[in-house]
Amino acid sequence: MALYTMKFGGTSVGSPEAIDQALTIIQRETQAGHRVVGIVSAMSGVTDSLLKTVKAAIQGDRWTFQEVNRDIRHRHEEATHRLIEPPPEREITLKKINDLLDEHLQLCEAITILGEATPRMIDAIVSFGERLSRRVVAAALDARGIPSQAFDGTQLIVTDNNYQDAEPLWEITSKQIKERLVPAIENGISPIITGFIGATPDGTITTLGRGGSDFSAAIIAAYIDSDELTIWTDVDGVMTTDPRIDKRAKVLPYVSYTEVGELAFYGAKVLHPKTVQPIIARNIPMRVRNTFNPEHPGTQIGADIVATSSVIKAVTSIRSISMLTVSGKGMLGVPGIAGRTFLATSRAGANILMISQSSSEQSFCFTVRDADANEVKYAVEDELRAEINHQDVDGVDILKEVVIVTVVGGGMRGTPGVAGRVFTTLGDHSINVISIAQGGSECSISFVIEEDALDEAVICLHDLALASVEDIN
């Protein structure tokens, strides 16, 4: 008897038909004698819609937030009518849905009166998506005769108060999961849990960042000591590249935790970047699979790195990036300038995606999202004001609308010539490389190029990744 943790993403619970499909997947395992813990996202599009209600509420646009609220109500009611029998159970679920959505309206009303929304209020509003979906899914599972109990992540995942991107407090989260969730599993119940949300120790709702349900599932899988974590989504697995850029993209049968972590960080949308953290130490096998094509084995993710002849397994890219360069003759050997720059960047609320410094130490560059670039420039110039006044530092230059392309392959460590092959390939296609960085894990190489060259760069490097798929099979 195995214990499986299964996370169902937004599209996997996005319609009555999808939920039905997800339930069949759970049922297949429970009928085979296994135990299943389900983590669910909000129905597809609902998180975005809820964010829209925040905006509308701030602007006093009652018509819009009421309209969106009606839409969300309708979708959940429809799913409840289609999936939940008998009528008394259906009525209970409908009542819960309506209570939650009434509460949503009240919060929007409060935001309208205040004319602003704090990150804490935004988290409270977006939490409704998962709190609604898990009620429908749990009751529908029960209706199929599989005893289920619904849990809110707020009861299990305890976090700091960094709203919209909260970090779990591991020890007490582990304690809550062991005390509250494990007994239910031992009693033969299939819990259905909200992804994405947690709560501070004093009970205020937080979220783990967009796409955070994967992370929730990994945390739970780790602390219940699951035999496998399956991320059920709407694609067959982790792809060699974005099929919208290159139609030849293939599903990788296997990737390592480090490789998939790198892929998630550098733009492949399959997984939340933090997902592998909790399960890596426990060596829990993970799989990405397609709810709508459950016969496909998906991508297996594990600790070992499989060597392939071309080493490179996947190519990803991130658009709308700015590269900032800090330069100056007086920087040579002056410690602390880079450190202060990165601190100022994080104070400005921006995430650094890639850093590179030349050995002359007269400049270094780093990349952030276009949307953050100006603010970061001002923050860094402010921090380095004294050095700029002394002309030790010239200032901060911005190069906008560039892209980062990353090639990922765990076998890079100790394999000479991989970088050579990558940059020769780019050179053969006359693609100009603006800046280069290799991840410390030696599992990826990233570089910055002009946006115009993106497709060609990805396609020519993807040849190397495609060759790897043959080797893994």
Q: Return residues touching Mg ion (CB under 5 A).
A: 9, 211
How many whole angstroms separate alpha carbon 438 and alpha carbon 339? 19
What φ, ψ does residue 360 adopt, rounded to 5°?
-70, -10
CB of 378 to ligand ASP, least distance (A): 29
CB of 9 to Mg ion, least distance (A): 5
How many whole angstroms separate alpha carbon 257 and alpha carbon 275? 9
Whether residue 4 contacts residue 230, with contact meaning beta carbons closer than 8 Å, is answered with yes
List the beta bridge partners of residue 205. Answer: 199
213 vs 256 by CB, closer to ligand ASP: 213
Q: Quick one: what does residue 300 bind among ligand ASP, Mg ion, none, with the CB cut-off 5 to 8 Å set by partner type?
A: none
49 vs 345 by CB, closer to ligand ASP: 49
List the beta bridge partners of residue 150. Answer: 192
Q: Which residues are near ligand ASP by CB under 6 A?
A: 9-10, 41-42, 47, 129, 195-196, 210-213
CA 303, distance to chain mean position in Å, is: 20
Give the residue closest to Mg ion by C-beta.
211
How many whole angstroms separate alpha carbon 67 and alpha carbon 165? 28
Q: Quick one: what does residue 44 bind among ligand ASP, Mg ion, none, with the CB cut-off 5 to 8 Å set by partner type?
A: none
Q: Quick one: what does residue 153 bind among Mg ion, ligand ASP, none, with the CB cut-off 5 to 8 Å set by partner type?
A: none
233 vs 468 by CB, closer to Mg ion: 233
Question: Two tokens at 377?
Answer: 């420039």
Helix, strand, coil tally for the chain in percent (to 5):
45, 20, 30
Can you say whether residue 352 is alpha, beta or left, with left for phi > 0 and alpha for psi between -120 and 50 degrees?
Answer: beta
43 vs 388 by CB, closer to ligand ASP: 43
Q: Quick one: what does residue 196 bind among Mg ion, ligand ASP, none, with the CB cut-off 5 to 8 Å set by partner type?
A: ligand ASP
96 vs 272 by CB, closer to ligand ASP: 272
How many whole angstroms separate alpha carbon 395 and alpha carbon 184? 59
How many whole angstroms separate alpha carbon 270 and alpha carbon 214? 9
231 vs 373 by CB, closer to ligand ASP: 231
Of residues 24, 26, 20, 35, the one with CA closest to residue 7: 26
CB of 122 to ligand ASP, least distance (A): 12
Q: Quick one: what does residue 210 bind among ligand ASP, Mg ion, none, with the CB cut-off 5 to 8 Å set by partner type?
A: ligand ASP
Query: Which amino acid, one-letter code, is at 155?
Result: Q
How many whole angstroms separate alpha carbon 143 and alpha carbon 455? 48
10 vs 273 by CB, closer to ligand ASP: 10
Q: Quick one: what does residue 212 bind among ligand ASP, Mg ion, none, with the CB cut-off 5 to 8 Å set by partner type?
A: ligand ASP
Question: Two tokens at 241?
Answer: 């590249």
CB of 127 to ligand ASP, least distance (A): 9
Q: Quick one: what does residue 129 bind among Mg ion, ligand ASP, none, with the CB cut-off 5 to 8 Å set by partner type?
A: ligand ASP
153 vs 439 by CB, closer to ligand ASP: 153
Beta carbons within 8 Å of 343's beta carbon, 6+ residues apart: 383
Q: Quick one: what does residue 411 bind among ligand ASP, Mg ion, none, with the CB cut-off 5 to 8 Å set by partner type?
A: none
CB of 123 to ligand ASP, least distance (A): 11
Q: What is the DSSP letter of 181?
A: I
CB of 100 to ligand ASP, least distance (A): 15
CB of 217 to ligand ASP, least distance (A): 9
Length of the chain in residues, anyone? 473
CB of 216 to ligand ASP, least distance (A): 8
212 vs 237 by CB, closer to ligand ASP: 212
Question: Two tokens at 78?
Answer: 């429809």
CB of 41 to ligand ASP, least distance (A): 3
Of residues 316, 229, 208, the one with CA closest to residue 269: 316
